[in-house]
Amino acid sequence: MEIAGKHYRTVWLEGSTVQMINQPLLPHQFDIVDLVDVAATANAITTMIVRGAPAIGATGAYGMAQAVLLASPESWKAEVAAAARTLAATRPTAQDLFHGVDFVKRAIEGAQDLHSAQELAVAAARDLADDSAAACERIGEYGAELIEDGFRILTHCNAGWLACVDWGTALSPIYKAARSGKKVFVYVDETRPRCQGARLTAYELGGEQIPHAVIADNAAGYYMARGEIDMVIVGTDRTVRNGDVANKIGTYEKAVLAKRHGIPFYVAAPTTTLDFACATGADIPIEQRHEDEVLCMFGRDEEGKIRKVRIAPDNSPGYNPAFDVTPAELVTAIITERGVFKPEELSENDELLR
Ligand code: MRU
């Protein structure tokens, strides 16, 4: 997508340096970060300089390519194996991360020497990123057919192009619908504690000139009860065999509310989020993040400085689960790059895993 007339992806590889948009600074400052080794790339995933399932999947793949490019001829296999472990340990919930790391690992399995491994790894990481961007665009095309002219749509967290390589998952259908001339309005859940909705989704929608408003997470029920929301679209970090999905904390309660009000609840899911080894959502590991994300907030002060401020008493602890599970029964349909499926249809389509 474009920023000030220039096309950007969220993450890419330049030589052996992984480069990415510095997301914690948005929307106040647009900056590119250079990550010169695997430790730095892994740290960028853990600290959420890059975040969003497909984006961290691509970062995992580029991180693997970086590891192969920087490895020494004597011990490259052991170094690359260690890099795979480091990258996979950064965040536990998004299936894309493991897919990205494994994709490059498998691509170099047959390599006879470091030089050919380097070529294979870079090509595989680039292919993964290209395929991911194309899948998100296809999701947009399928999803746009579900959006009627005049629809008012609620979304949670940021499942836009910043969360992916390009296009987005939940926001891609909105971009496609708007670009085809349909009028849409987007209710953007702020998405405490890290406010990916208020900071990133609003930034993206503003860039595309799509009418929207940021609402407090607690306001979704108010607008649903007033009949002002026609559909909900969210992303997913892991989509399991029975159609349960794990997404940003707060997604589950939006799905319950949508069911209560008879509002369709769609999940936009690249097939790279599928994990059929998990039978139900109860098997999905849910990331627990630092309590400071709940107890404090980041923002720009009146002098334009980005500051962290504490909002809870000094000695109150916080709990911070980063994701929750929305059961399949609350999901109207799952929009993939290969079509739109009822959640219970996923397990009948094993070919989706390829
Ligand atoms: O913790 P984050 O910001 O990585 O969480 C992102 C989300 O929950 C998105 O909705 C998700 O990754 C799915 S779509 C890109």
Bridge partners (DSSP) listed for residue 299: 307
Q: Which two tokens stand for residue 191?
A: 């998405």
Same structural domain, 230 and 102: no
Quote the CA–CA distance of 143 and 337 in Å, as a whole number. Answer: 9
**Domain of 145, in residue numbers:** 140-353
What is the rounded end-to-end Cα distance, in angstroms, of the chain?
27
The backbone torsions φ and ψ at residue 307, rounded to the nearest 5 degrees and listed phi first, read -130, 155
Domain end call among 77, 105, 137: 137
Whether 193 and 291 have beta carbons less than 8 Å apart is answered as no
Helix (H, G, I), strand (E, B) or coil at 31: coil
Q: Which two tokens stand for residue 184?
A: 């849409």
Instruction: List the CATH number of the domain containing 92.
Output: 1.20.120.420
Instruction: List the CATH number of the domain containing 223.
Output: 3.40.50.10470
Same structural domain, 128 and 152: no
pLDDT of amino acid 354: 63
Task: Find the 18 Cα to ligand 1 centroid distance in Å.
Answer: 20
Domain end call among 100, 115, 137: 137
The backbone torsions φ and ψ at residue 245, rounded to the nearest 5 degrees and listed phi first, read -130, 145
CA distances from 292 to 158, 302, 317, 353 (A): 20, 23, 9, 37
Task: Find the 23 Cα to ligand 1 centroid distance in Å.
Answer: 13
Domain end call among 137, 162, 184: 137
Same structural domain, 166 and 98: no
90, 199, 201, 247, best to mutate for ligand 1 pocket (most atoms within 8 Å of CB): 247
Q: Which atom of ligand 1 is nearest to the CA of 322?
A: 1
Same structural domain, 119 and 158: no
Same structural domain, 116 and 198: no
Tokens 């695997």 -> residue: 38
267 lines ligand 1 (CB under 6 A): no
- Residue 225 region, left (φ>0) first, then alpha (ψ -120 to 50), else beta? alpha
Same structural domain, 131 and 144: no
Whether 340 and 262 have beta carbons less than 8 Å apart is answered as no
Quote the CA–CA distance of 12 and 59 in Å, as a whole number. Answer: 8
Q: What is the DSSP letter of 269?
A: -
Q: Which atom of ligand 1 is nearest to the CA of 56?
A: 4
Return the axis-axis angle of helices 114-144 and 95-107, rounded to nearest 10°: 140
Note if the pTM is more than 0.85.
yes
pLDDT of amino acid 352: 81
Closest CA to 326 of 259, 231, 226: 259
Same structural domain, 106 and 145: no
Same structural domain, 154 and 48: no
Q: Which residues contact 167 (CB under 8 A, 6 or more apart)?
A: 1, 133, 136, 137, 139, 140, 161, 175
Bridge partners (DSSP) listed for residue 309: 297
332 lines ligand 1 (CB under 6 A): no
Q: Among all residues, which ones are annotated catalytic?
A: 237
Q: Kind and range of the H or E element at 188?
A: strand 185-189
What does DSSP say about strands 296-300 and 306-310: parallel, antiparallel, or unpaired?
Answer: antiparallel
Same structural domain, 108 and 168: no
Same structural domain, 65 and 112: yes
Same structural domain, 226 and 312: yes
pLDDT tens digits for the chain (354 residues)?
A: 888 889 999 999 999 999 999 999 999 999 999 999 999 999 999 999 999 999 999 999 999 999 999 999 999 999 999 999 999 999 999 999 999 999 999 999 999 999 999 999 999 999 999 999 999 999 999 999 999 999 999 999 999 999 999 999 999 999 999 999 999 999 999 999 999 999 999 999 999 999 999 999 999 999 999 999 999 999 999 999 999 999 999 999 999 999 999 999 999 999 999 999 999 999 999 999 999 999 999 999 999 898 999 999 999 999 999 999 999 999 999 999 999 999 999 988 877 876
> What is the number of structural domains in the chain?
2
164 lines ligand 1 (CB under 6 A): yes
pLDDT of amino acid 349: 82
9 lines ligand 1 (CB under 6 A): no
Same structural domain, 166 and 280: yes
